[in-house]
Structure 1
């Protein structure tokens, strides 16, 4: 690596679009430097499908997007960033490519044209064994849609927005489109036929998975990155959906060899509660959903969550947590596995059966399905998880004695990865896809005890954490993954950090919330209790702190409600839209935004908004000063009210002033980090700072230092609703480490034991440096 290494202090995530290109990013570099970030973290930069606003549907051959500014525009951005001391991290997408428009994907077009004889057929994870080499494309709403097939003047098959190439010599002017279709290397099939001829990214038809385990595919998809590395134009990489790869460990080792040891390498990967990232991985860590969960849970009142469970049960007649929620999650995974991913479980079964022919295939199929829907970790075939997965299998065998024979095959498979490697890889990537679709996409829209805990990385079953566990997990993170990312908002989160912070405050006043909902339900009876209760919490989360929703926010909420209804599938769905049910919910939602109902909502928001902002500031500080490297999503240096994508990918006005509470917190935290690199980098210490008194639960206090010497102390408010008076704060006494301590924001000096009313006054956070 040439040039000067830039140690990570904090990243700033930018979503590139045709309207916000490399040139526009150059224009915000001074802003980012003033903020204090060390690295610019770009969304995918490769050429993508026409009209793409996110870049995750990139299209081969891999080359930097001309729409975004091309290679010259990227080089210019890199030069300007380096001039102001900011590194560049790229988001790469090895798992899949966009195939929505075959004309813009040479590899996929060639496969459709020439079938398995195409030199690119081996690039894709095709599944044609049951169809005599034909590639099933699940693009039809119904089988009789084929009546609408036509041919364009280039001899391509056309069905609505779908345009597909045809094989040479199979079409002539005047041919019957259906007869031409029958001559192709592919077949259009109904989306619900459970026939998919290629592995997809989750259940997205427009994204086809690649086989990165094949050296030729890796070389073809990473040559552009190697060129940037050779020219020292990149300081780090973020790998999208690493668990979707056949061999994540092998892939990351090869990528690390290309990057060298000095560049940063992050992976987008979910971790189950209690799961540790495998230490064999040659990475700095994850992109931070595990830390998001930890921060979210420490700001959620545990007793309030219990009361909210009772409210949810009373309103809906359904349990919202505990064993019932766990059972519903398993049932939902099973439904998704059968309905969306039958090809994946069948391929795993075939591979296992080939190695264990003495066991009936249906038993192996049932056992593999059971494991995919019940495993306690995100993906089980990482080396360090052998003990965990074999314990899971033993537990499942005890709970399901009729499945012992099939589960025994799985136990052998995980203990003999050299022999069963392909099979357990198939189970691993299927488990990840099933969880993402069943729990994060569908399940998180079907329950509503407290929607702030229904977030990526989080588990509604465990919405809270005690402070002892919180400090223990951060101590482990400081020792094992000191440079892992710490996220609060991303381009994929279900709601923005400020929205979640406000919603979480509901758990601090559950009785007042229950009264509010009862009054509102009487005034505006919901057409569907669960759906409307879910939407109500989001409405409260984004409601203006002073005023009423304007037309723009009303439209955004209507769009969000439509997506939430269809994702959850309770009253409508993407494949079976119920216009009447959707209209009823939309009418109810509109009623909340005006008149007496709006007065009720505004009154409740007024009760919790200030506490929400206090906790949002605390969360921001913790994300930047706890072990790890804070990731600031675009626009979150100010208050923001984003919901899920595409709402959270709206353009950001970077010309706003940094004289703002969140921006000032960020600047203070990052200035302190830069002054004490040893305290926050590898080898740095994370220590609990004692707090005593009757209101100690409202303060999180810790130190960062090195060699058991504290250099920085952080005190942050949590559960702020009942901690907003000097009297309450005076009851929390903080025992500072020996020495004199200076407040980084105010310059005030402190020593010994001090009350939170003095140290914090009415602020959310105090960051102290050793004098």
Structure 2
């Protein structure tokens, strides 16, 4: 298997195409990258900035380029011994009618070969035989009356047009429409032979197949007829008949609805709560085989060598999917899955994958780089700033329940109906159905992980134990004695014993697990993370704001020794909530809590005249204001930085999104423009106030210097720890981006190329680092560290892809403030050393280097040898390690170190 030595993630879209990617390949190769890691490149909704809204997985997105472009890139990569890791999206596609498969379903209904591809409940009591399409801006009847839905014709056939949306008329209804046109005109406008042909199609029986050739020929002939303006006009006149249009809509394979209806009623599985993304039934062999045809061909041609599987948790049976994928693409194809793991959770051992996309690594490193010495003081201060109604876990529980009831009500109803069907012997009353719904809701929100991985054939002891734990927690958290009997009635289904489980029960449980993941994501990542602001650097995908769950060096070593060598190590992705260097700046606050407290109190006093009062509510509320202060510390550009252009406008857009996501004073579906407007005015006033800036700027400059050191530390860990380091586009330099779309802004590669060119020219100069360290905020320092480590990995691939991880003992005064480990493979050894709690080591404002800082702290090297030489890859200095090797000698110039045995 061709395992990547390092990856570089690029976001492809119409402003950064395959041609643009080709232009930066020499830069990536010079940087030391071995694998290009690309966002989905299949045909997507026009203008898509991410590619996850796939329209056709069998074609390269024409906005990105052509297959010929891809082949050219592939040939270049082969020539330079580089590979391609491709992101694919088996869970969902775009629900727009420009989706060729979905359009076919809407036109042909059960006669379409794609009819069973999509996860649609065609037997839903409200939408029987129809796909609900919630995209209207107002109720359907009102829209028809106002003439916003018109009947028209083009080469694809008859359709109803709603702005850019085109809904095909069911082929079996053509005869009725064409006949009604003649009735409206009181004359033969549409020739009889068209109507007769249409009647033949209308008469097709369920056990028959639609003759596609005849159907397409019929539509082409009809198109010629309607191309005449006078004939096309009659369709517009048809649209003016409200009753006829509404009657026509009742007979279609779709049901149009206002977009708000999706929160209450739904008959297809969405990606999270995104109406515009419809999920696939990838558990179907036919769907799986057809979907992966093009992907398979690219792998067979050796254009793609590796795959990233998006949202594995959305699939009905992830293990079965991965088994099929393994059989399809072969054991030589490297595969990782996008999977968010809770602390102490690991991917199932029987999955045929090489690892995850690295959120677990992000969480581990972030927890290591947060100080736990002032946890109590930080928590106490937050409770003073913002009176907490409940703690983080309670906040998660309440927000998940809120999302399920108010924004996933349709999904909950559908699952309740499936649960009811497990009791065919009962006559289910409305009260019983309501009780079942409540218990099911309490149970779903009680999962502490995204989902469990169940098997249709059997329920394992471990899964039964986990389900029992969830059940007991749900019952306890519900605090609803009136439902106790209902809980016990449902216990055999929601918390079954392994020997009692039936396939019908298991299928229901497996179905619920397709929704517990989206519920967790929407309730935690997209809601709680925006309103629980204790230390927002911990509000990150894969991480947890539980400050007490920090990781010490011993725990870090334990996790690293268990970590798969082939999994990805990421600290920034297209989905992270803030840039990797933003997090590290904010983490510094955990080391200077008393100073931070004093500053916040000072800023609150300065800001007294900027707040607004509206109906007894202070705007912004104290929690939003505290979030703002942390965000400013993390993102404010402390020196001239072209990467942070338009900072003020970007910040205000971000803060507006944050307020909506928090769903406290405003939200996306019902925005409070008064609160939002006043809060943004507060931001403007604050940043234009001299007193505030005079206090704030020197503070953030100091924090930024510590944050820069931590950025170098994090880069070192990512590149040397077990796993494959992933670099997100543009993060070679400081990454002070905010959440998407801010973190998907165009990358200035010309700047990066020039910085790398300077590094390559100067890095062997003995005084290079000394000059650079005079300004630790210089972004080229980060690229320098990344470049040196990428070259090391490329030079010694076996050492990092196969080498064991061994902790190295540290002792002395600052032993707890330094971490060391080695990677070893045969005779190859790399020693890695980095500091922790940097602020306390640099009280005088210095870097954490030299004997004066480290005093008697030493590294307990297991073997002393005067003959073995180790070379520092950053400083090019050599050393013979002693059994009590002083840290001050190792970190004499640069605050981090990596030595390779010569």
Q: Is the 8 A contact 1:41 1:91 kept in 2?
A: yes
- Does residue 378 (structure 1) correspond to residue 508 (structure 2)? The answer is no
Matches within 5 A, 1:36-55: 36-55=32-51
- Decide which of 414, 417, 421 is 1:347's aligned counterpart: 414
**What's the CA shift for 1:767?**
0.4
Partner of residue 232, structure 2: none
**What's the CA shift for 1:634?**
0.7
SS in structure 1 of the partner of residue 125 of structure 2: helix
Partner of residue 466, structure 2: 388
Partner of residue 304, structure 2: 234
Residues 557 and 145 (structure 1 numbering): CA distance in 2 closer, same or farther, change over 3 Å? farther
Partner of residue 173, structure 1: 236
Residues 448 and 750 (structure 1 numbering): CA distance in 2 closer, same or farther, change over 3 Å? farther
Partner of residue 694, structure 2: 599
1:396-417 C-alpha deviation (Å, 9 max, x unpaired)? 4566681233233212287637
- Does residue 71 (structure 1) correspond to residue 67 (structure 2)? The answer is yes
- Decide which of 633, 636, 655 is 1:543's aligned counterpart: 636
Distance (Å, rounded) in 1 between the aligned partners of 2:164 and 2:659:
25
Distance (Å, rounded) in 2 between the aligned partners of 1:178 and 1:410:
48
Partner of residue 763, structure 2: none
- Decide which of 552, 557, 568 is 2:651's aligned counterpart: 557
**What's the CA shift for 1:395?**
4.7
Distance (Å, rounded) in 2 between the aligned partners of 1:324 and 1:238:
36
Residues 221 and 765 (structure 1 numbering): CA distance in 2 closer, same or farther, change over 3 Å? same
- Decide which of 243, 248, 251 is 1:183's aligned counterpart: 248
- Does residue 645 (structure 1) correspond to residue 756 (structure 2)? The answer is no
Partner of residue 505, structure 1: 588
Residues 28 and 643 (structure 1 numbering): CA distance in 2 closer, same or farther, change over 3 Å? same
- Decide which of 53, 62, 81 is 1:85's aligned counterpart: 81
Distance (Å, rounded) in 2 between the aligned partners of 1:423 and 1:414:
15
SS in structure 2 of the partner of residue 52 of structure 1: coil
Q: Is the 8 A contact 1:181 1:187 kept in 2?
A: no
**What's the CA shift for 1:508?**
0.9
1:32-59 C-alpha deviation (Å, 9 max, x unpaired)? 1122121110111101111112111110
Partner of residue 471, structure 1: 557
- Decide which of 786, 792, 799 is 1:666's aligned counterpart: 786
Q: Is the 8 A contact 1:44 1:93 kept in 2?
A: yes
Moved more, 164-173 or 594-603: 164-173
Q: Is the 8 A contact 1:368 1:427 kept in 2?
A: no
1:217-239 C-alpha deviation (Å, 9 max, x unpaired)? 11221110111111111110001
Moved more, 220-229 or 107-116: 107-116
SS in structure 2 of the partner of residue 213 of structure 1: coil
Distance (Å, rounded) in 1 between the aligned partners of 2:57 and 2:686:
50
Matches within 5 A, 1:331-346: 331-346=398-413
Return 5+ residue gaps in structure 1 as ranges. Answer: none
Partner of residue 367, structure 2: 297
- Does residue 687 (structure 1) correspond to residue 682 (structure 2)? The answer is no
Partner of residue 677, structure 2: 583
Distance (Å, rounded) in 2 between the aligned partners of 1:48 and 1:277:
30
- Does residue 729 (structure 1) correspond to residue 820 (structure 2)? The answer is no
Q: Is the 8 A contact 1:453 1:459 kept in 2?
A: yes
Distance (Å, rounded) in 1 between the aligned partners of 2:645 and 2:798:
49
Q: Is the 8 A contact 1:289 1:457 kept in 2?
A: yes
**What's the CA shift for 1:459?**
1.2
Q: Is the 8 A contact 1:7 1:38 kept in 2?
A: no
- Decide which of 592, 596, 607 is 1:524's aligned counterpart: 607
- Decide which of 733, 743, 747 is 2:872's aligned counterpart: 743
- Does residue 328 (structure 1) correspond to residue 395 (structure 2)? The answer is yes
- Does residue 106 (structure 1) correspond to residue 189 (structure 2)? The answer is no
Partner of residue 95, structure 1: 91
Distance (Å, rounded) in 2 between the aligned partners of 1:469 and 1:414:
34
SS in structure 1 of the partner of residue 445 of structure 2: helix
1:91-136 C-alpha deviation (Å, 9 max, x unpaired)? 0011111123x1x212222333344554322111113422222322
Q: Is the 8 A contact 2:442 2:475 kept in 1?
A: no
Residues 694 and 417 (structure 1 numbering): CA distance in 2 closer, same or farther, change over 3 Å? farther
Moved more, 191-200 or 288-297: 191-200
- Decide which of 5, 26, 30 is 1:34's aligned counterpart: 30
Distance (Å, rounded) in 1 between the aligned partners of 2:660 and 2:347:
33
**What's the CA shift for 1:161?**
5.5
Partner of residue 309, structure 1: 379
**What's the CA shift for 1:589?**
1.2
Q: Is the 8 A contact 1:694 1:731 kept in 2?
A: yes
Return 5+ residue gaps in structure 2 as ranges. Answer: 178-234, 427-431, 612-618, 760-779
Distance (Å, rounded) in 2 between the aligned partners of 1:33 and 1:53:
25
Distance (Å, rounded) in 1 between the aligned partners of 2:49 and 2:534:
33
Moved more, 194-203 or 113-122: 113-122
Distance (Å, rounded) in 1 between the aligned partners of 2:311 and 2:241:
38
- Does residue 424 (structure 1) correspond to residue 489 (structure 2)? The answer is no
Distance (Å, rounded) in 1 between the aligned partners of 2:35 and 2:45:
27
Q: Is the 8 A contact 1:731 1:755 kept in 2?
A: yes
Q: Is the 8 A contact 2:40 2:89 kept in 1?
A: yes
Q: TM-score, normalised by structure 2?
A: 0.80
Q: Is the 8 A contact 2:10 2:38 kept in 1?
A: yes
Residues 634 and 358 (structure 1 numbering): CA distance in 2 closer, same or farther, change over 3 Å? same
Q: Is the 8 A contact 1:345 1:430 kept in 2?
A: no
Residues 220 and 612 (structure 1 numbering): CA distance in 2 closer, same or farther, change over 3 Å? same
**What's the CA shift for 1:706?**
3.6
Distance (Å, rounded) in 2 between the aligned partners of 1:48 and 1:628:
32
SS in structure 2 of the partner of residue 188 of structure 1: strand
Q: Is the 8 A contact 1:614 1:717 kept in 2?
A: no
Distance (Å, rounded) in 1 between the aligned partners of 2:543 and 2:898:
28
**What's the CA shift for 1:72?**
0.5
Partner of residue 818, structure 2: 699
Moved more, 560-569 or 379-388: 379-388
Residues 159 and 313 (structure 1 numbering): CA distance in 2 closer, same or farther, change over 3 Å? farther
Partner of residue 714, structure 1: 832
Q: TM-score, normalised by structure 1?
A: 0.93
Distance (Å, rounded) in 2 between the aligned partners of 1:562 and 1:158:
34
